């Protein structure tokens, strides 16, 4: 039974990845922080995981864990995930998002040498490494020029992955564009919108307050992105030449305004503008304007492709939030 070691397993994408790896018959060892409130939800939703307590910032413990588990694959999804929060916590961002990949890569290479078998490493990189790109869409050759501490931390890890790949480790960097689902926290604009729209449609709230409606993002379906990570890990384990940098994206960008309109329509409200207010508090001083990814490489190399389009993605998040708020989705009414 192959063993996968996963950091960030309690997060949105980590939890979908855990489902996929278990379904494939892997032993899944997940790192969770002591006192992580999301652990219980993960254990209830996904039984069969082998969760170990530890902190990404505790490098000695992390290295020891990898040496003991001796995994066939390591998926690094842990770290601070918010661009906005990275400005408030630049040092923590470096400690949790930039440095642990160095520990994990080094430990992975040691296991590979000790056991004399391949260890695949898959880094959850981010479109934020491109900063405010001048080319669109971006691909694996687009210059890495981060514009915030989160992007800078991910960029460091990204380069490190390539360095270890040149040392013979089957290390890959999946450059993930925004990916959403009902498991997305409300600190992200998509879930904030779908939850508030659901509650407005049920008469529980009266307005949706946002920052810029013109910001554009390439929003994909998180389970598709978790599958891409699993595919890269599996491919690189059986053939080290499959280890590479891969853009994981839908290839289509939409504005926040588009997201809002589709979300209200999914809740049965066509005239949405009276409900939406803009507040400078939610505007970002520096914000990527046009992030859209070209995922041709992984499509050609591994046959990955997105399975859920924009309207379906937004609709399923809205329906989930209506159910959560305690009512039947409009599509199932009368």
- The number of residues making up the chain comes to 334
225 is known as an active-site residue? no
Nearer to ligand GDP by Cβ, of 23 and 281: the residue is 281
Contact string (CB under 6 A) for ligand GDP, positions 21-60, x = contact: ----------------------------------------
Residue with the shortest CB distance to ligand GDP: 215
Backbone angles phi, psi at 33, to 5 degrees: -75, 145
Q: Which of residues 148-187 bind ligand GDP (CB under 6 A)?
A: 178, 187
113 touching ligand GDP, by CB under 6 A:
no
Nearer to ligand GDP, 106 or 287 (CB): 287
Q: Which of 252, 282, 301, 327 binds ligand GDP (CB under 6 A)?
A: 282
Q: Choose one: 63-71, 100-108, 117-125, 204-212; the region binding ligand GDP (CB under 6 A).
A: 204-212
Q: Of 126, 172, 181, 250, which is the active-site residue? A: 126
When asked if residue 256 is in the footprint of ligand GDP (CB under 6 A), the reply is yes
Burial (Cβ within 10 Å: 0-12, 13-18, ≥19) of residue 330: middle
> How many angstroms separate the CA atoms of 327 and 334, rounded?
13
Asked if 242 interacts with ligand GDP (CB under 6 A), we say no
> Would you count residue 215 as binding ligand GDP (CB under 6 A)?
yes
Among 95, 158, 179, 217, indicate the residue that binds ligand GDP (CB under 6 A).
Answer: 217
Nearest CB to ligand GDP, comparing residues 195 and 319: 195
Closest by CA to 180, choosing from 131, 250, 125, 130, is: 250
Q: Nearest distance from residue 196's CB to ligand GDP, in Å?
A: 10
Q: Does 188 bind ligand GDP (CB under 6 A)?
A: yes
Is there binding between residue 277 and ligand GDP (CB under 6 A)?
A: no
How far does the chain reach from its first CA to its final CA, in angstroms? 49
Per CB under 6 A, the list member of 54, 90, 182, 211 interacting with ligand GDP is 211
18 or 256, CB closer to ligand GDP?
256
Tell the smallest beta-carbon distance from residue 302 to ligand GDP (Å): 25
Nearest CA-CA partner of 95 in 118, 107, 78: 78
Q: Does 150 qualify as catalytic in the annotation?
A: yes
Residues annotated as part of the active site: 126, 128, 150
List interacting residues with ligand GDP (CB under 6 A). 83, 178, 187-190, 192, 210-212, 215, 217, 256, 282, 284, 287
């Amino acid at each position: 039974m192959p063993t996968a070691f996963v950091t960030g397993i309690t997060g949105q994408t980590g939890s979908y990845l855990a489902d996929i790896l278990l379904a494939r018959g892997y032993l899944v060892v997940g790192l969770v922080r002591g006192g992580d409130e999301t652990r219980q939800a993960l254990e209830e939703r996904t039984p069969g995981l082998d969760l170990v307590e530890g902190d990404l910032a505790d490098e000695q413990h992390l290295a020891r864990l990898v040496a003991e588990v001796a995994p066939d694959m390591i998926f690094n999804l842990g770290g601070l995930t918010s661009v906005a929060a990275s400005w408030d916590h630049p040092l923590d961002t470096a400690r949790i998002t930039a440095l642990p990949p160095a520990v994990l890569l080094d430990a992975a290479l040691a296991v590979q040498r000790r056991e004399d078998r391949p260890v695949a490493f898959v880094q959850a990189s981010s479109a934020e490494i491109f900063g405010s790109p001048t080319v669109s869409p971006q691909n694996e050759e687009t210059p890495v020029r981060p514009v915030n501490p989160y992007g800078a931390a991910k960029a460091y890890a990204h380069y490190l992955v390539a360095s270890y790949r040149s040392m013979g480790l089957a290390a890959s960097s999946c450059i993930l564009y925004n990916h959403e689902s009902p498991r997305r926290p409300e600190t992200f604009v998509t879930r904030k919108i779908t939850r508030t729209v659901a509650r407005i449609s049920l008469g529980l709230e009266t307005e949706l307050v946002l920052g810029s409606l013109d910001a554009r993002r390439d929003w994909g379906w998180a389970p598709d992105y978790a599958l891409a990570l699993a595919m890269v890990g599996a491919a690189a384990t059986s053939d080290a030449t499959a280890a590479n940098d891969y853009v994981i994206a839908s290839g289509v960008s939409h504005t926040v305004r588009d997201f809002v309109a589709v979300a209200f329509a999914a809740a049965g409200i066509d005239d949405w503008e009276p409900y939406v207010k803009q507040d400078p508090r939610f505007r970002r001083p520096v914000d990527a304007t046009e992030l859209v990814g070209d995922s041709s490489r992984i499509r050609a190399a591994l046959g990955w492709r997105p399975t859920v389009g924009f309207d379906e993605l937004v609709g399923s998040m809205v329906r989930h939030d209506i159910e959560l708020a305690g009512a039947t989705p409009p599509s199932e009414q009368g």
